[in-house]
Structure 1
Amino acid sequence: MKPEEFSKAVDKGELASLYLLYGDEPYLVERAVKKLLERAVDPSFRDFNLNVFYGNECKGDEVFSAAQTLPMFAERRVVLVKKGGELSAGAMEILLSYVQDPCPGTCLILQAEKVDGRKKFYAEFKKRGEAVEFKRPYENQLGPYVRDEVRAAGKKIDSAAAELLAYLVGNNLQELVSQIEKLCIYCGKKESIGVADVKAIVSDTKVESVFEFTDALGAKELPRALRMLTSLLQDGEAPLRILGAVSRHYRQLWQMRELLDRRLSPAELAKASGINPYFLKKVTDQARNYTVGELKQVFERMLELDLAFKSGALEGAAFERFVMDACRK
């Protein structure tokens, strides 16, 4: 079952007895669980009809017993197993028989980041229940995602504004939704959100500083890049998060560099790259600062930097050396 199919079914009240909600985007998984709980169990009787367990701690028999218990003052009981991909072999063996014959008055939910589909228990769960995977959206899906979230909040957002917000925040959906909520509050009764609104809200966050840093790198402006990096690190921004934004920016530059080498027209560049016109000129200009060979070296250095961070190297010094290499003319 696809996430959108799951959402529509839950809205209609068409609930299954078994759900496996998992994926590499924890925000979407958590939101799906919350949506299901709101529909499946009456908040007034949640103390009586909701049992929550953790897969890395619970025993199979206690989950089995809770799932077999009849609901009180309601038509359905919900049993939620968080970290459902970490069930022990013994717990899975006990619960396998329940999965093969679930109680019609119970909704058993497994919430997980990932599961081993080769194991009989999870294979049987997927076969007899509803398995919904929530994947982290790709960069080119963030703009539409922003527009959908804004629409759900009762407002509209310009295409360029949606792309700008997605570009500034990246694919951290928790942060993205937080910024959308701030935007909607900031705009008040105004129905449509524009680029100026995004700049007004995001400019006061660390996200804007990260954006300025990647912009300085792409332009090979060494003094500004070093100054922005120092500011980010002093503000407590996580080096790995900064590196993630840098990697995203250089992927765009590499893509554009290869398109430029094919001598495409501006219109063809816009279509082939999928980059919003609001950013197209800046990305194009910055891509001209690099050859494909230089970009390859930048990515090799980013890999070295990632390994250095994870091995406990001096983060500031290592990052500064990377910046100096990337901005070399």
Structure 2
Amino acid sequence: MKVEELEKTLSRGEIGPLYYFHGDEPYLMERAAKRLVDRVVSADFRDFNLDVFYGNEVKGEEIATAAQTLPMFAERRLVLVKRAGDLNAAALDLLLPTVTDPPSSTCLVFLGEKVDQRKKFFQEVKKHGELVDCKRPYENQLGAFIREEARELGKRVEPAAVELLLYLVGNNLGELATQLAKVATFAGERETVTVADVKEIVSDTKVESVFDLANALGERNLVKAFRSLATILRDGEAPLMLLAMIARHFRQLWRVRELVAKQVGQQEIARQTGINPYFLKGIVDQARNFSVAELRDVFEALYMADLALKGGEGGGKPALVMERLVMGICGPRG
């Protein structure tokens, strides 16, 4: 089951006795777990009916005992096990009877990163409960994520504001949700979050410099790029995260460059790439700054920078690696 499917079942009031959340997106796991807690356990009785354990600290019998305990003043209790991937083999074996016949008066929830369906424990969870996949969304799904988060906050977001938020913050779901909540608070009584709202709030964070750097590189403006890079490094932005944002920007430029070469109209370019028309003209202008051969060189430089930052040549000096990358992209043609 995907986490999106789970949320549909929760909206229908269908709550099972057993869940194991796994995947590479902790924000989705935590959000789903919170929604389960909110639906299963009344806030007034959480002291009696909510147990939270951590897999690196708890013994299997403690979880089993809590799961078998009857709720107080309520129909169900919830037992939440975070860092379930740290449960050892003995604990999983001890929990087998509980997951094989989960008590109907308890909702037992595990949060882990990986599942091994060769193991009896996970086979029984799949048979008697739900394995919920919390996979990080693809780039083209992030807009839907923002719109859904906005609905939870009672807001809608202008398409251009969605795109700007993605440019400024990147693909970190937790950070996207945090920044969106700030923007929604700033919007106050207004139902719609605008580009101006995003600029007003998110522009005060260090991510604006990442946005500026990506544009400066696309414009091949060396002075502007170095200025933005200096700000980013001073504020402590992780170099690998920064590299990922630059790579995303140049993937867009490559795709737009191909479509421009085929004389595709801007409306169709926007449709095929998912770039909001609000930003499209600037992206098209930047794409024209690079030949196909130069874009290949950029991706080669991005790859070499990635290797260096992960411990290759120059790996201990991220500032030097990033400065070389900027010079390579903005430097003279040929």
Task: Kindly indicate whether the alpha-carbon contact (under 8 Å) linking 1:163 and 1:276 is maintained by their aligned counterparts in 2.
Answer: yes
Which of 326, 329, 332 aligns to 1:326? It is: 329
Could you say which residue in structure 2 is the equivalent of 1:117?
117
Match of 2:234 in 1: 234
Where does residue 316 of structure 2 map in the other structure?
A: 313
Match of 2:180 in 1: 180
State the match for 2:258 in structure 1.
Answer: 258
Secondary structure at the residue paired with 2:306?
A: helix
Partner of 1:157: 157
The one-character-per-residue Cα deviations of 1:109-156 (angstroms, maximum 9, x if unpaired) are 011222223323113212210222222222222223222222332223
1:2 corresponds to which residue? 2
Q: Following superposition, which runs of at least 4 residues in structure 1 exceed 6 angstroms of deviation?
A: none
2:145 corresponds to which residue?
145
Q: Unpaired runs of 5+ in structure 2?
A: none
Distance in 2, Cα, partners of 1:158 & 1:224: 29
**Structure 1 position 274 matched with structure 2 position 277:** no
Structure 1: which 5+ residue stretches go unaligned?
none
Q: Map of 1:84-103 to 2, 5 A cutoff?
A: 84-103=84-103
Instruction: Give me the whole-angstrom Cα distance separating, in 1, the residues matched to 2:191 and 2:159.
Output: 14
Determine if the alignment matches structure 1 residue 134 to structure 2 residue 134. Answer: yes
Matched residue type, 2:321: A
* Structure-2 residue corresponding to 1:304: 304
Cα deviation, 1:9-47, whole Å, max 9, x if unaligned, reads 334432211011222221111011011112212333322
Aligned position for 1:34: 34
Closer, same or farther in 2 for the Cα pair 1:86/1:117, shift >3 Å? farther
Partners of 2:69 and 2:156 in 1: how far apart?
46
Secondary structure in 2 matching 1:13: coil
Aligned equivalents of 1:214 and 1:227: distance in 2?
Answer: 12
8 Å contact from structure 1 (residues 142, 163) kept in 2: no
Let me know the Cα RMSD of the aligned residues.
Answer: 1.9
SS at match of 2:286: helix
What is the one-letter code of the residue matched to 1:208? E
Change (3 A) 1:122 1:234: same
Deviation at 1:218, TM superposition (A): 0.9
Letter in 2 for 1:316: A
Q: Name the counterpart of 1:208.
A: 208
1:16 pairs with 2:19? no
Partner of 2:195: 195
Q: 1:56 to 1:293 in 2, by over 3 A?
A: farther
**CA-CA distance at 1:51 after TM superposition:** 2.2
Asked whether the 8 Å contact 2:155–2:191 carries over to 1, the reply is: yes
Aligned partner of 2:104 in structure 1 is: 104
TM-score, normalised to structure 2, is 0.91
Letter in 1 for 2:293: G
Deviations 1:84-128, CA, capped at 9 Å, x for gaps:
233212222221222111112111101122222332311321221
Query: Which range is displaced more, 111-120 or 24-33?
Result: 111-120
Q: Residue 62 of structure 1 corresponds to which residue in structure 2?
A: 62
1:167-211 superposed Cα distances (whole Å, 9 cap, x missing partner) = 221211222122222222222222322222221222211111110
The alignment covers a number of residue pairs equal to 329
CA distance in 2 between partners of 1:287 and 1:13 (Å)? 49
User: Equivalents in 2 of 1:231, 1:23: separation in Å?
Assistant: 34
**In structure 2, C-alpha distance between the alignment counterparts of 1:78 and 1:193, rounded to whole Å:** 36
Identity within the alignment, %:
55
Deviation at 1:68, TM superposition (A): 1.8
